[in-house]
Amino acid sequence: MTEEEFNKLDKRTKAYKEWKAKFEKQQESKSKGFGDTVEKFTVATGIKKVVKAVVGDDCGCDERKNTLNKLFSYKTVECLTEDEYKVLNSFFTKTNQSRVDYITQKNLVKIYARVFGKKQETTNCSSCLRSIINQLRKVYENN
C-alpha cells in the first residue's frame, strides 16, 4: 500500500485496522541488533530447541541476545519532521557555518538525538559537533 493510499484510509475502517496490524507485525519482526539476528538463526536451524532440551529453559539466551543488541545495534534513522527540515534548511543555506551559536547547536543536537535515537548533549568539542552536522546533512540531503 502506498503512502497516498494509506492517507486516504479512514482510521475506523477494517482496511486501516488490517494495515496497522500488518505494519506492527513487520516492525516486531525486524531485528533491532545482532542479538535478534542470532536468535532468528538459532530458531530457524533448530539450535535453540536443542540447547533448551539440554540446558533447560533458563539457558541465558535472552541475556546474551539483549547484550548483543546493545553492543551491535542496527542503526535506524527516523525521517525529519517538517519543523526539523525547516531548521536544517535554514542552517545549511546560511553562508557562514563555521560558527554555531548555543541555541542553534541545541536545536541541531535535539534533531540529531531524535533522528538517530542517540542521547546527545551540546558540546564544546568542534570535531564532535562537525560530525553531528555532517550526519544531519546526509539526512537532510536525502530527505
Total domains in the fold of the chain:
2
Domain boundary, last residue among 55, 74, 93 = 74
In this structure, the answer to whether residues 92 and 137 fall within a common structural domain is yes
- Whether the pLDDT of residue 110 is over 90: the answer is yes
Report the helix count and the strand count for the chain, using DSSP H and E: 8, 0
What's the CA gap between 142 and 138, in Å, rounded? 6
The mean pLDDT value of the chain amounts to 82
Would you say residue 17 lies in a domain? no
pLDDT category at 9 given cuts 50, 70, 90 is low
Residue 69 half-sphere exposure toward CB, CA atoms < 13 A: 14
**pTM for the full predicted model:** 0.52
The type of residue at 65 is K
In this structure, the answer to whether residues 136 and 89 fall within a common structural domain is yes
Would you say residue 22 lies in a domain? no
Would you say residue 43 lies in a domain? yes
What's the CA gap between 90 and 138, in Å, rounded? 15
Mean of the pLDDT values across residues 106-128? 88
Would you say residue 98 lies in a domain? yes
Give the tens place of pLDDT for each residue, 45-59.
998 888 888 888 888
In this structure, the answer to whether residues 94 and 128 fall within a common structural domain is yes
Are 112 and 132 within 8 A, CB to CB? Answer: yes
Question: 81: helix, coil or strand?
Answer: coil
Give the residue with greater pLDDT, 58 vs 137: 137
What's the CA gap between 1 and 95, in Å, rounded? 41
Q: Which three cell numbers stand for residue 54?
A: 539440554
Give the tens place of pLDDT for each residue, 56-87.
888 888 898 888 888 887 777 888 898 999 99
- Whether the pLDDT of residue 4 is over 60: the answer is no
Would you say residue 106 lies in a domain? yes
Would you say residue 135 lies in a domain? yes
In this structure, the answer to whether residues 63 and 98 fall within a common structural domain is no
Would you say residue 119 lies in a domain? yes
Residues sharing a CB contact under 8 Å with residue 10, sequence separation 6 or more, in sequence order:
16
Give the residue with greater pLDDT, 1 vs 44: 44
In this structure, the answer to whether residues 43 and 69 fall within a common structural domain is yes
Q: Which domain holds residue 126?
A: 82-141
First to last CA, the chain: 21
In this structure, the answer to whether residues 70 and 86 fall within a common structural domain is no
Would you say residue 115 lies in a domain? yes
pLDDT category at 16 given cuts 50, 70, 90 is low
